[in-house]
A and B are shown apart, each in its own frame.
Chain A
Amino acid sequence: MSVLLDISQVGMEFPTNDGPFTALRDVNLKIRKGEFVSLIGHSGCGKSTVLNIVAGLHRATSGGVILDGREVTDPGPERAVVFQNHSLLPWLTAYENVELAVRQVFGKTRGKAEQREWIEHNLKLVHMEHAMQKRPGEISGGMKQRVGIARALAMQPKVLLMDEPFGALDALTRAHMQDSLMEIQAELNNTVIMITHDVDEAVLLSDRIVMMTNGPAATIGEVLEVDLERPRHRLELAGDPRYNRLRARVLKFLHERHGGSPRNDSTSKTSTTRAAADEPAVHEAEGVESAA
């Protein structure tokens, strides 16, 4: 299959008080249509930064991302994001949260009834049809995450980006959500990039596991093909030697790679464009400080 998403030579420097901080360097990754890729790595290595660059929420300081032949310059609904802490609008019901997205994306092309049907369809897909009229404050963490996924799916994105979507959930709920996600994936065959800390989750869900080295100047250390056939069942896989080998491979990488990339701090690039400074972060910090 053809390459849908091309991340090439992506580097990221954040301006900080002690000069620029190189978070990423030379990140290269090609993702095919319909592929499920997970990003795994130690905390703070730069996984979210990669995802945010693909989402367009951050601008890479060097290199770039090409989606379906077009360079990514800003965020957009064809790259839907599922955030770690659900980020539903707390004043809207589950239905209205999905509706906001659907109206924005399909408001001009689909009629009212068709939109309504589509919203309900997506909420059903994540098994939330019984709580459509509930607000985020009235449902559990797992349910919120489901609504977040429904909202992202409802945008019919070219790539679905998930930043530790199940990170905040307990083990049982997480297993449940993973099964749901596999079901949905079997049906829709979306292109997905998912960040995770959970080795089992990565092996269970992914077609490929991308392992990142530790920062600063993190990059892709190793890419692991997961050639287990689908559908996959966690209980059957638990005794499968191939599964355990893959699992061991990822674990080994994570335990061995404590250092940064080989070219750490020696050859920091001298000319940097600061155009892609992280505007919202700066804005928020200043606003609170000076208005208080």
Chain B
Amino acid sequence: MSTITMTPGRLLRWKPQVDGRGLLTTTVKLVALPAAGILVFLLLWSAGARNIDTSLGQFPGPLAVGEQFGALYTEHQRSREKEVAFYERQRERNARRVAEDPGYEPKIRDYTGKETFIDQIGTSLVTVMSGFLLAAMIAIPLGIAIGLSPGLNAACNPIIQVFKPVSPLAWLPLVTMVVSALYATPDPVIAKSFINSMITVTLCCLWPMVINTAVGVASIDRDLVNVSRVLRLPPLQHVRRIVLPASVPMIFTGMRLSLGVAWMVLIAAEMLAQNPGLGKFVWDEFQNGSSDSLARIMAAVIVIGFIGFLLDRSMLQLQRFFSWDKGTATH
């Protein structure tokens, strides 16, 4: 990952060098080599694509995918225009009816057009962040408690070890049924499908955070704990001043792992459960089976990868910002 990507971290750390040769090597490393890597990939891809024929036509090459990016964006804009027009028409109609009959109460119906690719990206991002934050709110305090108390650790350890390797897709049916049973309001403010996806994400990204936090807390330098004891820090102060800062690097490592897991889990869950999001987009296109479908799926794949990458980088930046131990916050 370190050699072929042009990471923001590298750019930030990059200091122009005075001597010309140094500058040249840096430019080659930062721009030319990654560019060459991408170029070779594109060439291989288009060469490969030309030789693969599927029942939906030829496998899309980079150009076809690029075209679909354009098409997806145009569709999105057109859908927005339609939405605006829809509300406009509705307002006019209501105004007319009120003019004819002053007692008429105007009704506003929601626009129910098909979600565009960009809407689906938004949905997926919101879902993944909600699930992740919910997991963090549970996992970090729990991890701290487990790390501090050997008894609690012994009690929770078997459960954690068993649930950690469970695939999200195994959880999904259970989550769906439980949510349907417990969240049975006729007019839900938050869509059930959103809650299903979110909870599935939460269940899967809980464990890396719990484990890393607990290990971080339990492996605090004995001397630092002794400092706290000599100072007679009360328990809450002990957690706030010693335990939490000392385990921040490990907590963030867990959070980064979790967010990566969360993003992968979410796409799979959306595909399987037909819940709105990028996963559903991919599935719909697959079912659709038009000649553009594969190119559109490929576009989605690239976007999914890119978002995953950006999420990871954002976590890394957060970690850099919060962590005192700059050594742990690399790549």
> Are A291 and B230 closer than 8 Å at their CB atoms?
no
Q: Is B118 an interface residue (CB 8 A)?
A: no
Partner of A87, one of B147, B154, B218, B226: B226
Q: What does the 1/0 interface line of B115-159 toward A look like (CB < 8 Å)?
A: 000000000000000000000000000000011001001100100
Residues of A within 8 A of B153 (CB): 286-287, 290-291
Chain A residue with Cβ nearest B241: A100
Residues of A within 8 A of B246 (CB): 89, 91
Partner of B215, one of A83, A135, A281, A292: A292
Q: Is A221 an interface residue (CB 8 A)?
A: no
Chain A residue with Cβ nearest B161: A290
Residues of B within 8 A of A239 (CB): none
Residues of B within 8 A of A76 (CB): 230, 232
Give Cα A35–Cα B233 distance, bound, in whole angstroms: 29
Q: Is A275 an interface residue (CB 8 A)?
A: no
Chain B residue with Cβ nearest A104: B231
> Are B226 and A81 closer than 8 Å at their CB atoms?
yes
Q: Is B64 an interface residue (CB 8 A)?
A: no
Give Cα A85–Cα B146 distance, bound, in whole angstroms: 27
Give Cα A155–Cα B146 distance, bound, in whole angstroms: 32
Chain B residue with Cβ nearest A55: B230
> Are A283 and B150 closer than 8 Å at their CB atoms?
yes
Chain B residue with Cβ nearest A148: B227
> Are A100 and B231 closer than 8 Å at their CB atoms?
yes
Interface size class of B (residues with CB under 8 A): 20 to 34
Residues of B within 8 A of A77 (CB): 230-232
Give Cα A79–Cα B229 distance, bound, in whole angstroms: 11
Q: Is A288 an interface residue (CB 8 A)?
A: yes
Q: What does the 1/0 interface line of A39-56 toward B look like (CB < 8 Å)?
A: 000000000000000011
Give Cα A74–Cα B211 distance, bound, in whole angstroms: 31
Number of CB contacts from chain A to chain B under 8 A = 92
> Are A291 and B157 closer than 8 Å at their CB atoms?
yes
Q: What does the 1/0 interface line of A76-111 toward B look like (CB < 8 Å)?
A: 110111010101011100000000110011000000
Q: Is A280 an interface residue (CB 8 A)?
A: yes
> Are A90 and B231 closer than 8 Å at their CB atoms?
no
Chain A residue with Cβ nearest B210: A291
Residues of B within 8 A of A280 (CB): 222, 225-226
Give Cα A91–Cα B244 distance, bound, in whole angstroms: 11
Chain A residue with Cβ nearest B242: A89
Give Cα A292–Cα B230 distance, bound, in whole angstroms: 29
Given A280-B225, A288-B219, the answer on whether A105 and B245 have CB atoms closer than 8 Å is: no
Partner of A90, one of B215, B225, B325: B325
Q: Is A277 an interface residue (CB 8 A)?
A: no
> Are B226 and A85 closer than 8 Å at their CB atoms?
no
Give Cα A83–Cα B246 distance, bound, in whole angstroms: 18
> Are A57 and B219 closer than 8 Å at their CB atoms?
no
Partner of A83, one of B146, B218, B226, B248: B226
Residues of B within 8 A of A85 (CB): 223
Residues of B within 8 A of A286 (CB): 150, 153-154, 218
Interface size on A, residues (CB 8 A): 34
Q: Is B269 an interface residue (CB 8 A)?
A: no
Give Cα A230–Cα B331 distance, bound, in whole angstroms: 56
Report the minimal beta-carbon distance from B64 to chain A, rounded to whole angstroms: 48
Chain A residue with Cβ nearest B225: A280
Partner of A287, one of B214, B226, B227: B214
Q: Is B221 an interface residue (CB 8 A)?
A: yes
Partner of B230, one of A80, A283, A290: A80
Residues of B within 8 A of A75 (CB): 226, 229-230, 232
Q: Is B87 an interface residue (CB 8 A)?
A: no
Q: Is A256 an interface residue (CB 8 A)?
A: no
Give Cα A105–Cα B211 distance, bound, in whole angstroms: 35
Residues of A within 8 A of B306 (CB): none
Q: Is A170 an interface residue (CB 8 A)?
A: no
Give Cα A281–Cα B220 distance, bound, in whole angstroms: 11
Give Cα A287–Cα B149 distance, bound, in whole angstroms: 8
Q: Is A282 an interface residue (CB 8 A)?
A: yes
Q: What does the 1/0 interface line of B169-197 toward A look like (CB < 8 Å)?
A: 00000000000000000000000000000
Report the minimal beta-carbon distance from A221 to chain B, rounded to whole angstroms: 28
Give Cα A102–Cα B315 distance, bound, in whole angstroms: 35
Give Cα A2–Cα B255 distance, bound, in whole angstroms: 57
Give Cα A38–Cα B185 distance, bound, in whole angstroms: 75
> Are B146 and A87 closer than 8 Å at their CB atoms?
no
> Are B229 and A288 closer than 8 Å at their CB atoms?
no
> Are A87 and B215 closer than 8 Å at their CB atoms?
no
Q: Is A284 an interface residue (CB 8 A)?
A: yes
Give Cα A104–Cα B229 distance, bound, in whole angstroms: 11
Give Cα A46–Cα B233 distance, bound, in whole angstroms: 28
> Are B218 and A291 closer than 8 Å at their CB atoms?
yes
Residues of A within 8 A of B242 (CB): 89
> Are A90 and B324 closer than 8 Å at their CB atoms?
yes
Residues of A within 8 A of B211 (CB): 291
Q: Chain B interface (Cβ within 8 Å of chain A)?
A: 146-147, 150, 153-154, 157, 211, 214-215, 217-227, 229-233, 241-242, 245-246, 248, 324-325
Q: A282-B150, A286-B153, A290-B153 are in contact. List 6 more A-B contacts (CB 8 A).
A: A56-B229, A75-B226, A75-B232, A287-B147, A287-B218, A290-B154
Interface CB pairs A-B, < 8 A, 26: A55-B230, A75-B230, A77-B230, A79-B230, A81-B226, A81-B227, A81-B230, A87-B227, A89-B227, A89-B242, A89-B245, A90-B325, A91-B325, A101-B231, A105-B231, A137-B324, A155-B231, A280-B225, A282-B150, A287-B217, A290-B154, A290-B157, A291-B153, A291-B157, A291-B215, A292-B215
